[in-house]
Amino acid sequence: MSDFDLFRISEDHEALREAVREVTAAQIAPHAAAVDEEGRFPAEALTALVATDFHAPHIPEEYDGVGADALATCIVIEEVARGCASSSLIPAVNKLGTMPLLIAANDDLKQKYLPPVARGEAMFSYGLSEAGAGSDTAGMKCKAVKDGDHYVLNGQKSWITNAGESQFYTVMAVTDPDGPRGRNVSAFVVEKSDEGFTFGAPEKKMGIKGSPTRELHFDDCRIPADRMVGGPGEGLKIALRTLDHTRVTIGAQAIGIAQGALDAALAYVKERQQFGRAIAEFQGVQFMLADMGMKLEAARQMVYVAAAKSERGDDDLTFFGAAAKCYASDVAMEVTTDAVQLFGGYGYTKDFPVERMMRDAKITQIYEGTNEIQRIVMARQLLKG
């Protein structure tokens, strides 16, 4: 292999891209506008993704998964997001919810909870944020008190993606109220059927309306002690290690949304006539398209490099994961906004998909750590050397 081959996506990855693109175009994108308009879970997308093993491709073969690497998983999320951002959260959140188990759980826990997700029988969500603890994760109030061979959970979690649809939840809770801040949190698996576990009303959101976002409520919710992921007090460390990997997938979602918007804009400017010619012939429009394409490709390369580092577990993943998520989401917001501009008044209507893509893009700058937090993470890594 020559050095130049290092910068070429493998044939297997490109074949995967084509397969996901075909499924998305035929079975997911046609429902995207209705899913957004009706604010309903994209059941058609879940069915299509499960049928093709694209719903949780990251799960290793030993747990009935297909064992896709981090880059392959990002390509799946990117291509689904190109057609429907809400649907791309199925594979993305399945990875987010299960990553703590892959990182820190014992094999019994992995054998119990990963195969049902791999087979498409269940989805897995992730509970870290709270009403008063967003960026300040260590400030959480949700508590888990040991009671014999059980823990009793009380409290709430906010902004939980696919809440109510997922059967399993990784939940962070304080297990040592008097312990050192940040080292007194433990991680648990909570099942949808657990007594004392309920959901708040769905949030009414600007975008990703097909992916339900709800609060989790725990009212004396008793769960077996053997559902702890990792050891006592390791929860926040596990949560932050999880985010190092899954921020890359948000970068992938962002470039998928941006690509969808650029595709739509390119098709439109070649058809739209003004002053007797297609607006694609105007230099001002061409400059906008060039900037959109250039920044999107730069973001894509950052995401792919971060994905490779995620797969290898490189020491500098924390920086690259934050950088990829931050840059790609900023680019997605810029590209989708420019796409709306290129459509003119039509871009501001629901007759075309770019207004939906612009609304969907915004959340990528906020969830899994705001871009302000990403910049703090990056700066700390730089200062550490």
Domains plus CATH for the chain? 3-118 (1.10.540.10), 124-232 (2.40.110.10), 236-384 (1.20.140.10)
Q: State how far the Cα of 78 lies from the Cα of 188, in Å rounded to an integer.
A: 29
User: pLDDT value at position 1?
Assistant: 44
pLDDT tens for each residue of 118-147 = 999 999 999 999 999 989 999 999 999 999
Residue 355 falls in the annotated catalytic set = no
Catalytic entry in 78, 165, 215, 368? 368
pLDDT tens for each residue of 288-327 = 999 999 999 999 999 999 999 999 999 999 999 999 999 9
pLDDT tens for each residue of 30-82 = 999 999 999 999 999 999 999 999 999 999 999 999 999 999 999 999 999 99
User: pLDDT value at position 6?
Assistant: 58
Torsion angle, alpha carbons of 355, 357, 359, 365, to 10? -150
Average pLDDT over residues 217-236: 98
Q: pTM for this structure?
A: 0.97
